[in-house]
Amino acid sequence: MSYATRKYMAALSALLLGVVLAEGMIDMPAAGQWITSYGLLLSELSLTERNAMNSVAGVLFDLRALDTLGEILVMYTAAAGLHIVLLKLSIETVRDEPIHTLPGRAILAESETIRTLCYAVATPLALYGVYSCVRGHLTVGGGFQGGVIVAAVLFMLYFAGQYRIQKLLAGDETLDVGEVLGMGGVVLIAMLGLVLGGSLFYNILPAGSPGELLSAGLIPLLSILVGLEAAAAVTMIISHLQRQPLKREKK
């Protein structure tokens, strides 16, 4: 296919997409219009059918759990794609000299303020991240937020000058296991629902009583698995960016 043909096809595709988007925007409600029926229905279904006090968690992990599966698949794919892009090749070697000795680079002085602050908030923040994952069906929070909070704690250790501790807690093997358990667990639950109940993410656990920790069926379990995947994926992405003291050399 010639370059000119590809340009015309791209222009035609953009035009058709623009028409579809324009039609969709024309049919949208007016700016500022308050549509409550959908939100009220979701809140009612989350509480009456799943006993989930947090209607957001009920929507994410039950009413539109298939969309949530797509979202964590995007995170999984992003981490895997970055791993492939930044994979060490046979023509790459590790720098012999520290990166701060290169021209125009200088090592920064350590900040005791940042170090002290990171040490002070790391443990409470880690507990809050786990809390958000486990109790997302009862209060504000959930797997996505909790997972990112846990990942942030790991990089606070890096900011505090404890890179070795960060790698000890979240090494490559640990992150691989976390991603497999998180992503694989969500897929397994989806398929179990399809086999046992006839639909993806069909609830196969008791709904329990509203307000209790063991309630809302599969929602808290899915929240924990999503949190595990989010923490592992975000940590893996940033870890790969940390380890870029590589340079290309022809052998």
As a whole number, mean pLDDT of residues 80-106 equals 67
Entry pTM: 0.77
Average pLDDT, the chain: 85
Confidence of residue 56 (pLDDT cuts 50, 70, 90): confident
In terms of pLDDT, which residue wins out, 33 or 108? Answer: 33
In terms of pLDDT, which residue wins out, 30 or 178? Answer: 178
Q: Render pLDDT for 101-131 as a digit per residue (tens, 0 to 9).
A: 566 666 667 788 888 888 899 999 999 999 9
Amino acid at 166: Q
* Structure token digits, residue 203: 């609830």
Q: Name the nearest CA neighbour of 187 among 222, 224, 147.
A: 222
Domain spans in the chain, listed from the N-terminal domain onward: 54-100+110-246
For tokens 């035009």, name the residue. Answer: 15
Would you state the pLDDT for residue 218? 93
d(CA 171, CA 188): 25
Would you state the pLDDT for residue 99? 56
Q: Name the nearest CA neighbour of 190 among 80, 49, 67, 75.
A: 67
Is 14 a residue whose pLDDT tops 80? yes
Residues 6+ apart with CB under 8 A from 236: 79, 82, 83, 172, 175, 179
d(CA 29, CA 149): 35
